[in-house]
Structure 1
């Protein structure tokens, strides 16, 4: 598996940090989406609530979100908990 990352941490975003079009895109995801935390990566907004725990499969990463059968976005939470390092896993 190949993992692509620049090792930079991206700040968490709240609902109010999103643009009107980004809010509209996520508004129907679930009832309390306005209490979620988000981040931007490769032109997309991701909800951290959509990420699953990695376990021992990807050492050094905390969560993943499948984007296709062959790829997933990985996240690693910062030590202070207000940012995420993001990677793209390709198989």
Structure 2
């Protein structure tokens, strides 16, 4: 998985031209369920088998920065947990 997520389509925040860094108060996420699915395509089954879950937050727009490929950074102090769910395993 590591080698699949080091390309230009899966940049770390400091390599994403729209994000450029991650601040200490920020957490990584995605701007949609579809963006999460695209980012982890081919890996949600193994992640689910290891117990990984998706956590959905509501965050005011002014506390969210979205990168070039759907990855988002958000201020965790401004985030309200809405739900969690198991990752889909049918890939």
Query: What TM-score comes out, normalization by structure 2 length?
Result: 0.27
Question: More strand by proportion, 1 or 2?
Answer: 1
Question: More helix by proportion, 1 or 2?
Answer: 2
